[in-house]
Amino acid sequence: MAQKPTISRTFIMGLWEENPVFRLLLGMCPTLAVTAAVKPALTMGLCVIFVMICSNIVVSLMRNLLKPHLRILMFTLTIATFVTIADLFLKAFVPVMSETLGPYVPLIIVNCIIICRAEACASKNGLVISVVDAIGMGVGFTATICVLAAIREILSTGNIFDIPVMFKSFVPWAAMAMPVGAFITLGLMLGLVNIITKEKEKNKNSHSCSVEGSE
Amino acid sequence: MLKVKHFIEQSWLLIVASFIFGLLVAVTYASWKPRIDQNEKDKLNNLMRFMITDANSFEIAVRDAEINTGKGKILKTNIYKALYTDGRTLGYAFVAVGSGFADKIKLVIATDIHCEKVFGFKVLASNETPGFGSKITEDFYTNQFKGAPATELIVSKTGDPEIIDDKIITISGATVSSEAVVKIFNTFIAQIKQKLEEQGLI
């Protein structure tokens, strides 16, 4: 029988074990497109958190009324509504960021992470677990793209949040601000995460072996 | 009748949700629209003021001037009049649009009162390649337009960018974007001049 998800476990899953970018490889479009600088990456992350929390709440509340063949349509309708609201909010209150992100805010509608969480979690669980799942996944996604953006911004401009952080003779790598920089950084980060995960598993196995041996 | 009943049974949630969500978006849009419009207006005014620094205010001189952007495509743009505190006209500004390397480039162009000299241009919107095409906003390129004649401009890969004439030196690594800006200038300037002449403003 499947174990009932706990609140803390659900939250932590999104941060590392089921991190949407590094473990599930979802939401690759914004991950590659808006990580040239930290500010737009952070804005995108916050938008995704808002949309995911709202859509998970709505999907969770109507999960018992959903007809199986209409569920994807309902998810898309729900997500599109909250993405439109997020897009309007940026245009009204953070117009500079709205221009920087351009079409990538409306494109959150087709972000696989949100539809995946609606299908995998919110349509099967209660309100609290769905909200916690949205926060965990959203924070995991935001933290990941911010780390990628920080690496790219530092290497492509020598600055972070417009504050110079590199030594004076540093020559900015323009390629890091371009798509090639996004692919290289993401690839290296994925490799690093895989190495860390394997090392952790190895340590876990050797620890359990030594415990068994001592017994 | 049974078919209708079956249809409603299956889709009532979708229909109700569509109405509720539609209403939610409509209410949000209606409440934030004045702010969104104001932001757009402010941005345009700031860019125009940046080029015509002495201007106290801007008002529309020609509304919805029709510009032929080629291949029979007509684009409507407003021509703004820059006014000094005493009401004197200092120059004209307008929004010009054209295709860039990646996407459309939207410029704000300012000219003198006779539409003979360009005061400069500012990029209103562009998705040109960061680090390459995005350099159309940098001084090396934009300064070449300040004081340039408001006639057909020529693109050149070599030359002295310090000399202000009808020759615009392209940005190394961003030839397409550099040429696109000049093309937008050449498409718009002559027609804007004609519109101002038709209205008896110059």
Residue B16 included in any domain: no
Could you tell me the residue range of the domain that residue B166 belongs to? Answer: 51-198
Is the CB of B57 inside 8 Å of chain A's CB atoms? no
Residue B82 included in any domain: yes
Rounded to 5 degrees, what angle do the CA atoms A35, A175, A34 make? 15
Tokens at A75, concatenated: 């998810």
The reported pLDDT for the residue numbered A89 is: 96
> Residues A120-155: pLDDT tens digits?
889 888 999 999 999 999 999 999 999 999 999 999
Q: What amino acid occupies position B7? A: F
Query: Is B28 close to A73, i.e. CB distance below 8 A?
Result: no
pTM, to two decimals:
0.79
**What percent of chain A shows pLDDT beyond 90?**
46
The reported pLDDT for the residue numbered B70 is: 82
Query: Is B17 close to A36, i.e. CB distance below 8 A?
Result: no
Mean pLDDT confidence for B179-190: 94
Tokens at A121, concatenated: 């979690």
> Residues A52-100: pLDDT tens digits?
999 999 999 999 888 888 889 999 999 999 999 999 999 999 999 998 8
Q: Is the pLDDT of residue B130 over 80?
A: no
Residue B88 included in any domain: yes
Does residue B148 contact residue B120 with C-beta atoms inside 8 Å? no
The reported pLDDT for the residue numbered A13 is: 83
> Residues B8-21: pLDDT tens digits?
888 888 999 999 99
Residue B44 included in any domain: no
Determine the distance in angstroms separating the CA of A40 from the nearest CA of chain B, rounded to an integer: 14
Number of Cβ atoms within 10 Å of the Cβ of B127: 16
Query: Is A174 close to B17, i.e. CB distance below 8 A?
Result: no
Per the structure, the count of domains in chain B is 1
Residue B94 included in any domain: yes
Domain spans, chain A: 7-214
Tokens at A170, concatenated: 């540093």
Helix, strand, coil % in chain A, rounded to nearest 5: 75, 0, 25
Q: Which residues from chain B sit within 8 angstroms of residue A80, using beta carbons?
A: 21
Query: Is A178 close to B131, i.e. CB distance below 8 A?
Result: yes
> Residues A120-129: pLDDT tens digits?
889 888 999 9
Residue found by looking up tokens 């615009």 in the block = B168
**Which of B13, B41, B105 would best serve as a mutation to test chain A binding (most A beta carbons within 10 A)?**
B13
